[in-house]
Structure 1
Amino acid sequence: MLLNLTHAKLILTPQQLQVRLQPSGAILEVFAEDLRLISTANLLVANVGSVSWQLPLENDEQLQQVAEFYGIAVDAVEAY
């Protein structure tokens, strides 16, 4: 599945999420089990061992699409 954001492209595969940042072309990857979604900020949070990163999504619809694709619950707490 492909989601186009203003500042990135999200490529969702069954086991991982790849983010291609625009315009730099930098690529971030996370396995689905290391992914967290925060509804209060429409935020995608990746915690991969000693490396973590966050990506703001543009709207609640994008957050719900990612949640439904991976079958994960959306947290309502603030990001850390």
Structure 2
Amino acid sequence: MLMTLAHAKLILSPMELQVRLQPAGTVLTVLAEDLRLIASANLLVANVGAVSWQMPLENAEQLQQIADFYGIAAETR
């Protein structure tokens, strides 16, 4: 599945999520099991061992699409 945001493209596959930041072209990757979603901030959080990164989403619909695709519940903290 492909999602296009103003500042990135998200490529969702069953095992991982790939983020291609634009215009820099930087690629961030996270396995589905290391992915968290924070609903109150529309935030995607990746904890990959010693490396962590976060990316704001544009709206709650995008967050819900990712949650549905991976079958994970968004946290509401």
Could you say whether these structures have the same fold, taking a TM-score greater than 0.5 normalized by the shorter chain as the test?
Answer: yes
Distance 1:41 1:17 in 2: 19
1:67 aligned partner: 67
- Do residues 25 (structure 1) and 25 (structure 2) align? yes
Q: Does the residue aligned with 1:73 lie in a helix, a strand or coil?
A: coil
Q: Distance in 1 between matches of 2:12 and 2:62?
A: 12
Corresponding residue for residue 41 of structure 1: 41
SS at match of 1:14: coil
Q: What is the distance in 2 between the residues matched to 1:40 and 1:50?
A: 25
For residue 41 of structure 2, what is the amino acid of its counterpart?
A
Instruction: Give the number of aligned pairs.
Output: 77
How large is the Cα RMSD of the aligned pairs?
0.2
- Residue 45 of structure 1: CA displacement? 0.1
The code of the aligned residue for 2:67 comes to A
How far did residue 15 of structure 1 move? 0.2
Q: Give the whole-Å Cα distance in 2 for the aligned partners of 1:56 and 1:2.
A: 17
How far apart in 1 are the matches of 2:35 and 2:65? Answer: 14
Structure 2 distance, partners of 1:30, 1:68, is 17
Hey, which bits of structure 1, 4+ residues long, moved more than 2 A? none
Shift of 1:76: 0.3
- Unaligned segments of structure 1, at least 5 residues: none
Cα separation, 1, equivalents of 2:74 and 2:42 = 10
| TM-score normalised to structure 1 length | 0.96
